[in-house]
Chains A and B, each alone.
Chain A
Amino acid sequence: MVTTTALEAELLALAGSVPDPELPVLTLAELGVLRGVQLTAPGRAEVLLTPTYTGCPAIEAMSADIEQVLHDHGIPEVEVRTVLSPPWTTDAITAEGRRKLAEFGIAPPRPTGPAGGPVAVDLTLRCPHCGSTDTTLLSRFSSTACKALRRCESCREPFDHFKEL
């Protein structure tokens, strides 16, 4: 394990403060996709980023935003590397991140079960608008790969659910 210097911790916090391009209420730190920042030489930083979904198109915008923020902090060379292992899971979203999702109108993911188990889509989910648990699944896939589309049977509003991964 490499020891983290004060500057690396500072850069990690900076990179972590970048908003998610598709869910701007969340920061990358709250989404749990940032795996570390390392200074490989003076003025050169390597950032490890993990995608939510393998095909997530937001990863390129995230990388560009991280590079920009570190450049602005005086790091001329920034390399953002994508790592797959260990795979990201919705359990990596912080408690604050979940709270913000719900506030934004997206039902946060529930804790996940063991890998390879059945996909739990039928359990009760709370409507982020009115709080009712009387909600139904409209589609397993919604505006992005990471969300499912549901409808609240009490207030009749449709809403996105950040589905468990």
Chain B
Amino acid sequence: MRNATATPALPLGDDALILSHRLGEWAGNAPVLEEEVALANIALDLLGQARVLLSLAGDEDELAYLREERQFRNLQLVEQPNGDFAHTIARQLYFSTYQELLFEHLATTESELAPLAAKAVKEVAYHRDHAHQWTLRLGDGTDESRVRMQRALDALWRFTGEMFEPVEGLETVPWPALHDSWATRITHTLEQATLTIPDGPRRGGWTAGTGRQGLHTESFGRMLAEMQHLHRSHPGATW
């Protein structure tokens, strides 16, 4: 395996890969058929992005299937379990808003990530719109949907600070400005959805570390075991 940590394609590729896998877990379980198809399509977009990014970092299959938990550099946010539908939508809202802003910036740079960013940002605009529309429906919906949406936003809030920690190799990204744009967009959506902006710690000494450093939360190991087990059980197998 090449020195995969040298390129920022690895952390961004890991974000896309892990979120893609999580969304894929909805197949057969989504509340309605249209959502099943929507979540699978979003997962497919992310998988496509992951393949391009991980191929920039090394061999895509080796990187996806043969690394250990601590070698993954994805955000802790994307590895969080699907929870109820509101949790999945909150995770989508936080992440797609971040990814769209980051890719918008990267698309304008000379980075090797620019072609992928320019391509993917158009796909991510649909992901963000999907999450935005659902946040409005659930937040401004029934009493039950409103409670659940707020609960999901609050629960995942503590994983959002990590998104704006500088990433090695992405020195041109204006992280504080990216954060401000993110906060503005999230605030706009939540206000429109008559929801409350969560408040609480998002970074600092309370946390054991970040996904970008290879430190992950409890459920990630189990997810990896499922994602990797076929490839590890049958090395070199092909269709």
Contacts and interface: CB of A to CB of B under 8 A. Distances in A.
Contact of B129 (A55, A56, A119): A119
A145 B46 CA distance: 11
B167 interface: no
B34 A54 contact: no
B42 interface: yes
Contacts of A145: 41, 44-45, 123
Interface string A126-164: 000000000000111111110001000000000000010
A115 interface: yes
B125 A53 contact: no
Interface stretch (A12-20, A40-48, A79-87, A102-110): A79-87
B181 to A, nearest CB: 12
Interface residues of B, number: 30
Given A119-B129, A139-B34, A145-B41, 10 more contacts: A53-B44, A54-B119, A55-B49, A55-B51, A84-B115, A85-B118, A89-B122, A115-B118, A116-B104, A145-B123
Interface in A17-37: none
20 contacts: A51-B48, A53-B44, A54-B49, A54-B52, A54-B120, A55-B45, A55-B47, A55-B49, A84-B52, A85-B114, A85-B115, A87-B119, A89-B122, A116-B104, A119-B126, A138-B34, A143-B37, A149-B34, A149-B37, A165-B122
Contact of B121 (A55, A115, A121): A115
Given A87-B122, A139-B34, A121 B48 contact: no
B116 interface: yes
B119 A55 contact: no
A53 B48 contact: yes
Ranked 4 nearest A-B pairs via Cβ:
A55-B48, A54-B48, A85-B115, A139-B34
A117 B102 CA distance: 15
